Structure 1
Amino acid sequence: MTEQTGTFVVTHAEADSAIVRDVETAQVHTLASNPGVEVHDVLEATVAPDPPLEVTWQVVEIDDRRSIELVDSDLEPTQHSKELAADADVGDLLQEERAGTGEIHVFRVPVDEVETAAQDVLEDEETIARAARLEAVRVEVRRAPDDGVLSVRYLPD
């Protein structure tokens, strides 16, 4: 095994260890020590096998560190998001780039499942990984329960 440089999301953190996941390859690395990270932190870093057994990893260098804020918003999706979803079938996902950076994902879901879908997005580890890939620091989940529309906004700040 050799050093690996990439973007990692912290999926588990304790005082003396942590688990990070490469957001591009989904490879999981158990760290032999915790370099001061918390769950949902995103690291632009280099990791390497921890000698002598090389069954765990160590952080060699951290180039950047940021946290991803998950926001369960009480706002409804924007009018534009609702218009995008108007012609979509239940189960469809529509993705649109934001002006500048980030993305907006709009889902059509059954009206009685909007709240469950919102909670699923907020609890899904992949939401954080996607935010890391998009260089977002804030993920905002909005819902329109009466319309069956859920929007997930990946925001740079």
Structure 2
Amino acid sequence: MTDEKTATFLVTSAADGSAVLSDVTDAQVHTLSENPGLAEGDVLEATVAPDPPMNVTYSVVEVAEHKQIPVEESDETPTPQSKEIAEGLDAGDLETVERAGVGEVHVLGVPEDGVDQTVEDVLADEQTVARAARIGIERVEVRSGEDFVSVRYLP
């Protein structure tokens, strides 16, 4: 019987000698005993297995895909759909809608003086990349309005 696990992982930490992977579906953390060339923020579709005899650390058995998912601020204005959604939101509210085709759009209601900080927070949050990996997205675009932030998960 094997304890191998195949999943999509986000690399949450990487050093010369090891790396830490977080399963984007169940958030289980796997510390690798060696770093096979990973960098923080990488996304892997891979199989990992525990290292004997203690089964405390893991090794990468196979990598099906290794990529980065860019999360970038856009200079473009929010879409009409995002503006319409934002009209009904109070500060602190979140509305999620599916995009036509593949992806999602999240519209966050924020105070007017909190837009810039919210954009920075979304850009820096590893969970933005984890969500993108979980739903199979290739890039994330952040746009902002006067009192809202739009996060677009795009194919």
Smaller-chain TM-score bracket: over 0.9
Matched with 1:154 is: 153
In the aligned structure 2, how far is the partner of 1:137 from the partner of 1:36?
21
In the aligned structure 1, how far is the partner of 2:58 from the partner of 2:91?
43
Q: Which runs of 4+ in 1 moved over 6 A?
A: none
Matched with 2:142 is: 141
Kindly state the Cα deviation for residue 52 of structure 1 after the two structures are TM-superposed: 2.8
In the aligned structure 2, how far is the partner of 1:53 from the partner of 1:149?
49
Kindly state the Cα deviation for residue 77 of structure 1 after the two structures are TM-superposed: 1.3
What TM-score, normalized to structure 1? 0.92
Kindly state the Cα deviation for residue 53 of structure 1 after the two structures are TM-superposed: 2.7
In the aligned structure 1, how far is the partner of 2:82 from the partner of 2:136?
21
Unmatched 5+ residue regions in structure 2? none
Residue-by-residue CA offset, 1:71-109 (whole Å, 9 max, x unaligned): 022222112101111112221111111121111101110
1:61 is the counterpart of 2:58: no
Kindly state the Cα deviation for residue 126 of structure 1 after the two structures are TM-superposed: 0.9
**Amino acid in the other structure paired with 2:42:** D
Number of residue-to-residue matches in the alignment: 154
Residues 77 and 149, structure 1, Cα contact 8 Å, conserved in 2: no
Identity among equivalent positions (%) equals 55
What TM-score, normalized to structure 2? 0.93
> 1:1-157 maps to which residues of 2 (within 5 A)?
2-144=3-145, 147-156=146-155
Unmatched 5+ residue regions in structure 1? none
In the aligned structure 1, how far is the partner of 2:34 from the partner of 2:117?
36
